[in-house]
């Protein structure tokens, strides 16, 4: 082995000597003269998976076969479950209703805007369909989508200190929501008493205080027309509702957000 290495070094030295002594105008040395008779070094960037890994991976046609078999078994199991009499009919009808009903995209969009704010621009805007005719609002950037009943009367105008107005609602009137929203709070608030806070789209909140009965719960998603509750009885002829409104975390006159009919 040592003799072979010595011969290789000798041939390399002779080739380098020929290159140095070759005339400038002569031909370039033959390409084989630049090569050394040594074994090729492996490419450090090449990767070949271990033989054990390649042996553990099943062929592609076997993967397809397993997936098709699993799908057939699932479909067959679902068919047997729906045909057997061991499962109650109410469970079967509930499963059919869940699998066939349409997804409420509009409701999800309203809930998202009420809870987290405007939908990001990367998501498609989902059309809403409010039941009331939009009314012009004096609050900048906010348009009212429902109106207060014309039979209600203003007892106390908007006061920045208490941040609400007081309304006579009548003995038999219920308080309903005029657009989709999300119940952010149910409980006691200063200057409002028993209060329900409903978060709407576009950074708006409606505060409904001085309530006698409440028909919603915290974190409940409200559809337009949902009954919030009734106001507290203040005399024998009417009830009084404390109404407040926030736009982008600032209290504003609620009658500028929800006008009368």
The ranges assigned to domains in the chain are: 162-256
Cα–Cα dist 241/210, whole Å: 6
What architecture is domain 162-256?
Answer: Distorted Sandwich (2.70)
Any idea what DSSP says for residue 260?
Answer: B
Higher pLDDT among residues 201 and 16, named by residue: 201
pLDDT score, position 215: 92
Structure token digits, residue 119: 């939908």
- How many C-beta atoms surround the C-beta of residue 104 within 10 A? 13
Contact (CB, 8 A) for 216 and 183: yes
Least confident of 111-115, 118-122, 123-127: 123-127
Task: Pick the closest to residue 243 from 122, 141, 130, 149 (CA basis).
Answer: 149
Read off the pLDDT band of 100 (50, 70, 90): confident
Separation CA 230–CA 173 (nearest Å): 7
């Amino acid at each position: 082995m040592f003799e072979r290495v010595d011969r290789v070094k000798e041939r390399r030295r002779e080739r380098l000597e020929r290159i140095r002594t070759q005339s400038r105008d002569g031909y370039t040395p033959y390409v084989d003269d630049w090569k050394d008779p040594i074994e090729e070094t492996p490419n450090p960037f090449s990767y070949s998976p271990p033989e054990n890994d390649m042996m553990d991976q099943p062929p592609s046609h076997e993967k397809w076969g397993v997936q098709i078999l699993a799908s057939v078994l699932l479909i067959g199991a679902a068919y047997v479950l729906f045909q057997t009499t061991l499962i109650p009919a109410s469970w079967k009808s509930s499963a059919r209703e869940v699998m066939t009903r349409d997804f409420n995209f509009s409701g999800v969009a309203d809930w998202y805007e009420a809870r987290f704010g405007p939908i990001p621009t990367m998501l498609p805007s989902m059309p809403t369909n409010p039941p009331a005719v939009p009314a012009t609002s004096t609050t900048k950037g906010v348009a009212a989508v429902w109106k207060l009943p014309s039979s209600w009367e203003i007892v106390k105008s908007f006061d920045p200190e208490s941040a609400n107005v007081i309304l006579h609602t009548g003995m038999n009137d219920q308080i309903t929501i005029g657009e989709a929203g999300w119940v952010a709070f149910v409980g006691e608030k200063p200057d409002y008493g028993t209060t329900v806070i409903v978060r709407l789209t576009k950074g708006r909140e409606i505060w409904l205080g001085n309530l006698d009965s409440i028909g919603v719960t915290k974190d409940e998603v409200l559809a337009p027309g949902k009954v919030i509750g009734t106001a507290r009885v203040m005399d024998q002829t009417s009830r009084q509702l404390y109404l407040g409104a926030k736009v982008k975390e600032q209290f504003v006159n609620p009658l500028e957000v929800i006008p009368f009919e």
